[in-house]
Amino acid sequence: MRQVKAETINLLPTPDYSSIYTPGAIQPHGILFALQLPELTILKVSQNTDLYFETPANELIGRSLETILTRSQIEDIQQGFAENLGTLNPINLSIRNQDFKAIVHRSETTAILELESIYTSPSDPHTLTRKAVAKLQKTRTLDELLQQVVVEVHQLTGLDRVHIYQFDEQGAGAVVAEKTREDLPSYLGLHFPAFDIPSESRELYRNSLVRFVPDINAEPIQIIPNGHELDLRATVLRSLDPCCTRFYQHLNSAALFVIALIKDQQLWGLISCHHQTPNWLSYDIRSACELLGKFVSLELTHKVDHEEFNHWIKLKSLQSELIESISQTQNLRDALITPAPRLLDLVSAQGAAICLDNEMTLVGATPTESEISHLLTWVEDHIRDSLFHTDALPKLYPPAEAFKQIASGVLLLRISQVQTYYVLWFRPEVLQTIEWAGNPTVSIEVAENGSLSVSPRSSFEKWQEIVQSTSLPWKSYELNSVLELRSAIVGIVLKKADELASLNLALEQSNRELDSFAFAASHDLKEPLRGIYNNSIILLEDYADRLDPEGIEGLQTTVRLSQRMEMLVNTLLRFSQLGNVELHLKPTDLNEILAETIEMLQASRPDIPFDIRIPRSLPTIECDPVLINEVFSNLVSNAFKYNTQDHPWAEVGYLTQDELATLHPPRQESTPSVFYIRDNGIGIRSHHCDLIFKLFKRLHAQEDFNGGTGAGLTISKKIVERHGGQIWVESTYREGSIFYFSLH
């Protein structure tokens, strides 16, 4: 036994077996006729007729079958051809004192009649089959069933070696149950590469269900005349392909009997019986075994499905718990990872990563965040129908070699393409030792021109292949399960988005209504207010001499209050207009806007030296210049208003790309999008930072800082939001503030 590392053997080429259906010869334990319908003229015949009825084959060509059969036998055969379902097979025939089983099949134009010599079996196959079925019915698991099958078939056939051979998805097989003569070596657990039983042979088994070769070494009998070889796919006497013959010879087998096991119309496996010496099984025994094979196929389908069903039920309950959590929460990430094992159990993974936009959450054993980010970039081109999965990632994506111990297997589910939402599951490397029946690589011969061909290897001594960088494979029901999870998530998220959209719509509607109410109210208030003011002024100017000092003071208060009220009404009017006003977006040089702002400020307060610092020239951006001017004015004037320093200053600038990345959440924009106004003013206590953006909210009495109505920041906020941006403040009390606003 040798230990080697090798790439998986299943990748080896399959030899040409195309002549397997048309070998032009049969096995010697019977005769084969190709007949012309309807007269049953002999078109072709195997060359061994003289052995059975003393008439040489070449003398039969072109003659009617009546030359050798009686009228009533011909009628039976004709009926068999007419019925063409094979249910009349076999027909018992006695020809010149020799007993045969006659088997008929037909294609479009040609009919084939096979005559097989009769062998009687000592045992009664029907009783044995009944007993076998009764025992098989009692088995509970698939393993028990298969083990019992080999015991029963061994008993029915008496052959040396009976094993069940199960195919994998690539067509390679493994011996999964065995009953063998005690002195023979065991093949249990051994793997056979796909080319040992090529797809052509597998196709034959799928259609014919049983194959009997009583003497592998017997010389095949040619069918004459040759040329236009007959398709012998449906025949029982078809001779063995020379390549197959050598394969069985190397396995030390002299007789072969194979029963196909079918699941979901696919060849699931074979009950393969070998004998070291030639061995003839009666037709009845073979039919009994065929029947048993059909029963096993049904039972095995039931058992496999049942085992998968149990697992599937477990999976379903995990899945529905997960979906319920998702539907009840606002936070998809939390719903997926609480509790963490549930997400892993869903597909029997050891690790998972949830990537929601730029945020990544890791659960269990996973590669690092940066390794996963790189993997995500690569995988993008390999996703099909929202899924990517492999059980051998390092073979497809070499950087995975570095983390193959934890992630040789990857299953990726894309939840949303627009939002780059992914869930990835990881499975660790499982070093699999595959025991092959003989080193399959020695079967490969390289010709001088470099082409590869396969010839049966002569040794079946156990040979180990260690498969690396591979995880356990992802099962199809696991893939289906995550796809179902995706639909559920998408459904829930969409429903939530819908609800949010209709809420927003309602909110927008009520905002609009509020705006127009505010507009109407403030507009209507202006006139009476002006009246109160004007009348008070007239009273003060013309009737002051008739009023006592208290009356005058009262009137002066009325004037002041009406002025103040007018200011408030104007602010409200401005604010309510902002919601409806159309934006006039155009490329705007912010340096110019800032210069205008400074000029205006300077004009209104010529006494203050406005120290405004501009570390780097401001960009030109797409915005409404009039409105953005208002934002700059508000923020810059506040910087000097709320400032008690001897040398007040303000700095106006924008964040660089590096600085943008440090924001929470980080931003990645190539053009400047976040602007700031920093001052060395009085600062704002942190719990007031949100309050100041509310309408008419001031932190100080109006007269304290020569403040306004407390609407400047609210208006700035509304303008910034109308531009799709945000405004916020960072401040240290008594040291200064930075007002940021973003524009898209």
Structure tokens at 349: 């993974």
Question: Going by C-beta distance under 8 Å and a sequence separation of 6 or more, which residues neighbour residue 595?
Answer: none
Q: What's the min distance (Å) between Cβ of 734 and ligand ADP?
A: 10
Q: What's the min distance (Å) between Cβ of 576 and ligand ADP?
A: 16
User: Is the torsion defined by CA of 613, 616, 620, 622 positive or negative?
Assistant: negative
Q: Is 692 in the site for ligand ADP (CB under 6 A)?
A: yes
Which residue in 711, 719, 720, 727 binds ligand ADP (CB under 6 A)?
711
Separation CA 330–CA 343 (nearest Å): 18
Q: Identify which of residues 220 and 710 has a Cβ nearer to ligand ADP in the complex.
A: 710
Identify residues 638-657 at the interface with ligand ADP (CB under 6 A): 638-639, 642
Q: Identify which of residues 406 and 652 has a Cβ nearer to ligand ADP in the complex.
A: 652
Q: Are 33 and 65 in contact (CB under 8 A)?
A: yes
H helices of 170-241, in order, are: 199-208
How many residues bind ligand ADP, per CB under 6 A? 21
Separation CA 351–CA 365 (nearest Å): 4
- Where are any strands of DSSP class E within 417-543? 421-427, 432-437, 444-446, 452-454, 462-467
Q: Identify which of residues 674 and 684 has a Cβ nearer to ligand ADP in the complex.
A: 684
Identify residues 713-732 at the interface with ligand ADP (CB under 6 A): 713-714
Separation CA 562–CA 540 (nearest Å): 14
Which residue in 101, 211, 698, 723 binds ligand ADP (CB under 6 A)?
698
Question: b or e along 448-472 (b: 16 or more beta carbons within 10 Å of the residue's beta carbon)?
Answer: eeeeeebebbeebebbebebbbbbe
Q: What's the min distance (Å) between Cβ of 424 and ligand ADP?
A: 47
Q: Identify which of residues 526 and 688 has a Cβ nearer to ligand ADP in the complex.
A: 688
Q: Identify which of residues 275 and 698 has a Cβ nearer to ligand ADP in the complex.
A: 698
Structure tokens at 439: 């080193």
Stretch that binds ligand ADP, among 151-159, 522-530, 659-667, 679-687 (CB under 6 A): 679-687
Q: Is 610 in the site for ligand ADP (CB under 6 A)?
A: no
Separation CA 34–CA 46 (nearest Å): 9
**CA 729: distance to chain centroid?**
44
CA atoms within 13 A on the CB side of 592: 7
End-to-end CA gap in the chain: 70
State the CB neighbour count (10 A cutoff) for residue 208: 16
Identify residues 85-124 at the interface with ligand ADP (CB under 6 A): none
Q: Is 560 in the site for ligand ADP (CB under 6 A)?
A: no
Q: What's the min distance (Å) between Cβ of 572 and ligand ADP?
A: 13
Residue number closest to ligand ADP, CB atom: 712
Q: Identify which of residues 409 and 710 has a Cβ nearer to ligand ADP in the complex.
A: 710
Please report, as a single letter, which amino acid is at residue 480.
N
Torsion, Cα of 375, 381, 382, 388 (10° steps)? 60
Which residue in 180, 245, 634, 680 binds ligand ADP (CB under 6 A)?
634
Q: Is 485 in the site for ligand ADP (CB under 6 A)?
A: no
Q: Identify which of residues 69 and 639 has a Cβ nearer to ligand ADP in the complex.
A: 639
Going by C-alpha positions, the residue among 651, 630, 628, 612 that lies closest to residue 736 is: 651
How far CA 74 is from CA of 38, 55, 67, in Å, comes to 11, 18, 10
Calculate ∠ Cα 455-222-19, nearest 5°. Answer: 40
Q: Are 253 and 273 in contact (CB under 8 A)?
A: no
Report phi then psi at 606, rounded to 5.
-60, -20
Which residue in 699, 721, 722, 728 binds ligand ADP (CB under 6 A)?
699
Q: Identify which of residues 473 and 708 has a Cβ nearer to ligand ADP in the complex.
A: 708
Going by C-alpha positions, the residue among 633, 590, 658, 602 that lies closest to residue 739 is: 633
Q: What's the min distance (Å) between Cβ of 618 and ligand ADP?
A: 19
In three-state form (DSSP H/G/I as H, E/B as E, the rest C), the secondary structure along 287-308 is HHHHHHHHHHHHHHHHHHHHHH
Which residue in 438, 648, 681, 725 binds ligand ADP (CB under 6 A)?
681
Q: What's the min distance (Å) between Cβ of 640 and ligand ADP?
A: 8
Stretch that binds ligand ADP, among 54-62, 370-378, 602-610, 712-720 (CB under 6 A): 712-720
Q: Is 575 in the site for ligand ADP (CB under 6 A)?
A: no
Which residue in 493, 707, 721, 722 binds ligand ADP (CB under 6 A)?
707
Q: What's the min distance (Å) between Cβ of 564 and ligand ADP?
A: 12
State the CB neighbour count (10 A cutoff) for residue 279: 21
Q: Identify which of residues 540 and 567 has a Cβ nearer to ligand ADP in the complex.
A: 567
Q: What's the min distance (Å) between Cβ of 578 and ligand ADP?
A: 14
Stretch that binds ligand ADP, among 130-138, 393-401, 520-528, 703-711 (CB under 6 A): 703-711
Q: What's the min distance (Å) between Cβ of 736 and ligand ADP?
A: 8
Q: What's the min distance (Å) between Cβ of 371 and ligand ADP?
A: 46
Stretch that binds ligand ADP, among 130-138, 381-389, 521-529, 632-640 (CB under 6 A): 632-640
CA diameter of the chain: 158
Separation CA 571–CA 565 (nearest Å): 10
Q: Is 630 in the site for ligand ADP (CB under 6 A)?
A: no
Q: What's the min distance (Å) between Cβ of 631 and ligand ADP?
A: 11
Q: Identify which of residues 548 and 703 has a Cβ nearer to ligand ADP in the complex.
A: 703
What residues make contact with ligand ADP under the rule CB under 6 A? 634, 638-639, 642, 679, 681-682, 684, 692, 698-700, 707-714, 737
